[in-house]
Structure 1
Amino acid sequence: MSTDAPKLSPVEGIKEGSQYLKGTIGQELHEDSDHFNKDNLQLLKFHGTYQQDDRDKRAELKKTGGGKAYSMMMRCRIPGGRLTSDQLLAHLDLCDELGNSTLKITTRQTFQLHGVVKDDLKAAIARVNAVGLSTLAACGDVNRNIMCCPAKRTGPLHNTIQQLADELTVALAPQTPAYHELWLTDDETGEKELVGGGPGEVVEPLYGPRYLPRKFKIGIALPDDNCIDIYTQDLGFLAVVRDGEVIGYNVSVGGGMGTTPSASKTFPALAKRMAFVTPDQAVDVAKAVIKVQRDYGNREDRKVARLKYLIANWGIEKFRRAVEEYYGGPLQDLTDDDVTDFDDHMGWQEQGDGKWSYGLNIENGRLYDNDQRQLKAGLRAVCQRFKPEIRLTGHQSIIFCDFDEDQRDELIQILRDHKIVTTEDTSTVRRWSIACVALPTCGLAITESERRLPGIIDGLEQPLAKLGLDKERFTLRMTGCPNGCARPYNADLALVGKAKNKYTLFAGGGWLGNRLAFIYKDLVPDAEVVDELVAIFAAFKANRQGDESLGEFCTRVGQEDLAGLAAAAPKP
């Protein structure tokens, strides 16, 4: 039997030799080049930034003999999507002054800034930190931004789960001083020695010198409000509530959306329910789960390095035993509590303290100003007038908090003055849709997504109204590639880029987030997408039973019968 050590992927060597994520980033920041080298590109992710190029400009530049139009995408770490008006204003300033003049609310309750050139990157990261936020661990093979129900409510429930999000953020953050040295000091040489890590000193007690095999995502939810899609997370904490108090959490493990169609060994997965933990156990159990993944996750093949593959190989019982071993004791069995509802927190909602919050739907999370709509200017006006607390949702939208009753009309008027479509004037299908960035900046995108979904919805709104389904709640999600950043694989309906101008159409998930969709049709041409969706809606209208949801209907009839019913149903 061979005793050879497993062959590690190249990225593992880059991490291990990086001096705890420092690499030669400092030197490159001072070099006369518009892009970073390949090794540093892997390390920069841990610092919250990806190198990209404008793919719309590639062909044009190639014709003239030029290179790529490089820039950096910068992502923040905003636990549970909670921030101040001043922090939002600072990001709006950043996107105007150092970015491409737009700001993206992500599906993980944070901001992405696109178009930052290399020479401005250090200044941009420093400015984020100057307002009390960070980009550290927003990307990379570590725990990323922790999702949590963003609703502002008085009482112990939301306070408890949001406090857990904050505690986990601190406990699971990388400890390397490289981030501070690279981005938050005035060293001009880029040659400063890494502080710490001397003989006998452990720089990363949780992660170690190679960090995790792959990215890691955590979400915290309430049973009656799964607004953060808990079963798509590597690690989920579902609050167990008794007599208005959180007595603990049902822990789920192994969710993940990414897949590679050409590799049958890859697949999307929903997390498996593992054990119940008390509030005082939650942080240490999270660390134990991460340590198991750190030590046993696949470091040879990044395609199968996520936690979901370890659990698929081991089974949930073996994985639980390993977690208990790292934790140092047995865990309690699960309670029966599970997800039962989903609140997107849009529109006016009472906070319970005499104040109101207002959830504003932001289509695909993109904040911009143009002749038709002034989203950035409108948000500036709201923040400057009211100074509300801000919450970002897992559906790429925004919540303004702490409004008095007599301020509600003024807020709505400010939005309308800036030609912003209010939530009340947004169709249900648009409100429950999300899309990833895709083209032109994402290097993995195969097809359009964010720029295409609004037009698809334009084509759906009238047929849905004719079918009497315009108030029907279902999730419609779109991604430009199979990596699944907009969580398509558990949606009622989803479009996933498969080939140029062609999509895989999924059906059968649901807004509750606890069921995977199936492939309904593959390689659907872009020009036929709307017709295919309308046919599904027509079949649903003609054949639904009782009050079943769209996803439930699709799952009940299955792919083959759904195709037949869709072909036979009268079209609106």
Structure 2
Amino acid sequence: MSEQKLSDNERLKRESNFLRGTIEQDLQDELTGGFNGDNFQLIRFHGMYQQDDRDIRNERTAQKLEPLHNVMLRARLPGGIITPEQWLVIDRFAEESSIYGSIRLTTRQTFQFHGVLKRDIKHMHQVLNSTGIDSIATAGDVNRNVLCTSNPVESELHQEAYEWAKKISEHLLPKTRAYTELWLDGERLDTPDEEPILGSTYLPRKFKTTVVIPPQNDVDVHANDLNFVAIADNGKLVGFNVLVGGGLAMTHGDNSTYPRKATDFGFIPLSHTLEVAAAVVTTQRDMGNRSNRKNAKTKYTLERVGIEVFKAEVEKRAGIAFADSRPYEFTGRGDRFGWVEGIDGKHHLTLFIENGRILDYPGKQLKTGMNEIAKVHKGDFRLTANQNLIIAGVAAEDKAHIEQLAREHGLLEDSVTEQRKNSMACVALPTCPLAMAEAERMLPAYVTDIEGLLAKHGMADDAIIFRVTGCPNGCGRAMLAEVGLVGKAPGRYNLHLGGNREGTRIPRMYKENITDAQILEELDTLIGRWSAEREAGEAFGDFVIRAGIIAPVVDSARDFYASNYDI
């Protein structure tokens, strides 16, 4: 049997001269606001996606203008920690050089700029670099921004875990000098580039890594290729359980694609962390599918070659043997809102940022408020994987002033419900080119509708983990929600039910391609039953499974697409 033909992305990477392509020449092309040919894909390895405003695309076409091309940049921010000084710099750039003027906090625990025109791209990278931030490898077929549990309360343990997140990020970064040369006017050397971990054609597909501190699964480990679950002894980090092969993306109509939970490989001591990280990445590099990108993620490699085969290869490459996993438990994954005090006596204020979009709105001057706080705050900011923000390390004498600023600008409101805090969406329309339906823009009003249903059935103080994605690529992590909507077309979604609060169960499709109004009708009935029939403290996702409304997904590769009534 002849070998399958490689995907065109493999050609693109091979011919790119270690991710340089002809990006430099494209930057000088004033005839278009976009990037040509391979460069459209190559800029992703530098942390950018080319987009346009789809709301005005037809209008511009009618005017015989090309789409309003611009880029979205995603910063590299391992563990999501940023200083007030850095915040002031990114705030100023968003204000002066972005079409939309906003800063968006993402589910990858970092921030994004949206609407940056080609003429401002190089300036953007240099501004970020001036404050110690880059966007290397936040997109493309590489290991992306490394997440870490946002837990400033247990300060010593969190600091240790955060340091490992940074080390893993640095260890797995591309070594090519392309980023420095293209964006920072770095010196061009005659010596060839080398990629000892990623390889000259990089990975078969994107790769995501986390460090998580139980009992909070706030980074959703089962959405990621590689996860290090922190194991502590007397408050000190002693090692990690390693989970491999999680991922949520799928393709409508293609049953060879599916969400998958990560597999627990076992425990390693701290001293083996970087070797194991590299071994997992290089094993996926060499075994992953380079012919069909829809089946190229680590989760499919594990299913194709076998979990034990993949695990044995990792052990061989790392020169270790996994020990039995140490016990741990996830009890939740939401952020701790309001003030909490850490064991070091510092105080931390978690702010709810709906959709992660920091912008000034009528009556809610979020962007101005963050700017004012950054001017006086002496600690740091911590972005969460749930699109929220922690003002961390506040001294007792500074609490009142910080809280006053937050309340004055609408950053801290006591009226935010538990349901709103437990709802999340991806960006979707109008900027994401993959979006099939609304997500971010529909979420606020839709959550209000769900709040109304909860109140109607006497459940106003409870909540359902609710997430919306505008397409099946998984950015809003709907495939780990109790109720997940996946966009199919404008105003139409697949309705998935049956995830759990801990983030350890994938929901199953309950209704396909129905309208947002029909979904509310279904939820009205289901919430009514939950209210009447639930056991003490039973979560919605657990109820719909116990009541036989939906069958649990046990093995995604075998039963994710099985009919609910055939299981």
TM-score (normalizing by structure 1): 0.93
Contact map agreement 1:474 1:510 (CA 8 A) in 2: no
Cα distance between partner residues in 2 of 1:510 and 1:83: 31
Partner of 2:490: 500
Matching of residues 294-373 of structure 1 within 5 Å: 294-373=285-364
Q: Which letter does structure 2 place at the counterpart of 1:163?
A: E
Q: Which letter does structure 2 place at the counterpart of 1:260?
A: T
Cα distance between partner residues in 2 of 1:495 and 1:212: 30
Q: Per-residue deviation at 1:156?
A: 3.4
Q: Which moved more, 1:521-530 or 1:249-258?
A: 521-530
Cα distance between partner residues in 1 of 2:145 and 2:190: 26
Matching of residues 270-309 of structure 1 within 5 Å: 270-309=261-300
- Which deviations, in whole Å up to 9, do the C-alpha atoms of 1:75-113 show, x marking residues without a partner? 100001001011111111111111121111000100111
* Equivalent of residue 397 in structure 1, options 382, 385, 388: 388
Partner of 2:45: 46
Q: Per-residue deviation at 1:9?
A: 0.4
Cα distance between partner residues in 2 of 1:506 and 1:56: 28
Partner of 1:23: 21
Does residue 102 (structure 1) correspond to residue 102 (structure 2)? The answer is yes
- Which deviations, in whole Å up to 9, do the C-alpha atoms of 1:418-447 show, x marking residues without a partner? 23342x321111111111000000000000
Does residue 490 (structure 1) correspond to residue 488 (structure 2)? The answer is no
Partner of 1:567: none
Partner of 2:194: 203
Partner of 1:457: 447
- Which deviations, in whole Å up to 9, do the C-alpha atoms of 1:121-152 show, x marking residues without a partner? 11111111111011001111100000001222
Matching of residues 45-124 of structure 1 within 5 Å: 45-99=44-98, 100-124=100-124
Q: Per-residue deviation at 1:470?
A: 2.3
Does residue 384 (structure 1) correspond to residue 379 (structure 2)? The answer is no
Cα distance between partner residues in 2 of 1:79 and 1:410: 29
Tell me which stretches of 4 or more aligned residues in structure 1 moved more than 6 Å: none
Is there any run of 5+ residues in structure 1 with no aligned partner, and where? 187-191, 563-572
Cα distance between partner residues in 2 of 1:76 and 1:155: 24
Partner of 2:179: 179
Residues 193 and 410 (structure 1), Cα distance of their counterparts in 2 relative to 1, 3 Å cut: closer
Q: Per-residue deviation at 1:154?
A: 5.0
Please state whether the residue corresponding to 1:558 is helix, strand or coil: coil
Please state whether the residue corresponding to 2:50 is helix, strand or coil: strand
Please state whether the residue corresponding to 1:38 is helix, strand or coil: coil
Residues 154 and 337 (structure 1), Cα distance of their counterparts in 2 relative to 1, 3 Å cut: closer
Contact map agreement 2:150 2:383 (CA 8 A) in 1: yes
Q: Which moved more, 1:440-449 or 1:514-523?
A: 514-523
Does residue 246 (structure 1) correspond to residue 237 (structure 2)? The answer is yes
Contact map agreement 2:480 2:499 (CA 8 A) in 1: yes
Matching of residues 556-567 of structure 1 within 5 Å: 556-559=546-549
Please state whether the residue corresponding to 1:249 is helix, strand or coil: strand
Is there any run of 5+ residues in structure 2 with no aligned partner, and where? 553-567
Partner of 1:475: 465
Partner of 2:512: 522
Q: Which letter does structure 2 place at the counterpart of 1:152?
A: P
Does residue 543 (structure 1) correspond to residue 533 (structure 2)? The answer is yes
Q: Which moved more, 1:341-350 or 1:158-167?
A: 341-350
Contact map agreement 1:48 1:138 (CA 8 A) in 2: yes
User: How many residue pairs were aligned?
Assistant: 550
Contact map agreement 2:181 2:188 (CA 8 A) in 1: no
Cα distance between partner residues in 2 of 1:373 and 1:479: 25
Q: Per-residue deviation at 1:314?
A: 2.3
Q: Which letter does structure 1 place at the counterpart of 2:547?
A: V
- Which deviations, in whole Å up to 9, do the C-alpha atoms of 1:520-544 show, x marking residues without a partner? 1111212333333232211211111
Cα distance between partner residues in 2 of 1:134 and 1:12: 25
Q: Per-residue deviation at 1:474?
A: 3.0
Contact map agreement 2:378 2:393 (CA 8 A) in 1: no
Residues 490 and 76 (structure 1), Cα distance of their counterparts in 2 relative to 1, 3 Å cut: same
Residues 343 and 34 (structure 1), Cα distance of their counterparts in 2 relative to 1, 3 Å cut: closer
Please state whether the residue corresponding to 1:396 is helix, strand or coil: coil
Cα distance between partner residues in 2 of 1:561 and 1:239: 31
Q: Per-residue deviation at 1:194?
A: 6.0
Q: Per-residue deviation at 1:166?
A: 1.0
Cα distance between partner residues in 1 of 2:526 and 2:449: 14
Q: Per-residue deviation at 1:193?
A: 5.7
TM-score (normalizing by structure 2): 0.94
Q: Which moved more, 1:357-366 or 1:237-246?
A: 237-246
Q: Which moved more, 1:246-255 or 1:323-332?
A: 323-332
Does residue 425 (structure 1) correspond to residue 419 (structure 2)? The answer is no
- Which deviations, in whole Å up to 9, do the C-alpha atoms of 1:48-81 show, x marking residues without a partner? 0010011001111122222211110011000010
Please state whether the residue corresponding to 2:382 is helix, strand or coil: strand
Cα distance between partner residues in 1 of 2:502 and 2:274: 26
Q: Which letter does structure 2 place at the counterpart of 1:539?
A: R
Contact map agreement 1:492 1:511 (CA 8 A) in 2: yes
Q: Which moved more, 1:432-441 or 1:29-38?
A: 29-38
Cα distance between partner residues in 2 of 1:228 and 1:504: 24
Cα distance between partner residues in 2 of 1:86 and 1:473: 36
Please state whether the residue corresponding to 2:73 is helix, strand or coil: strand
Q: Which letter does structure 2 place at the counterpart of 1:542?
A: A
Q: Which moved more, 1:292-301 or 1:154-163?
A: 154-163
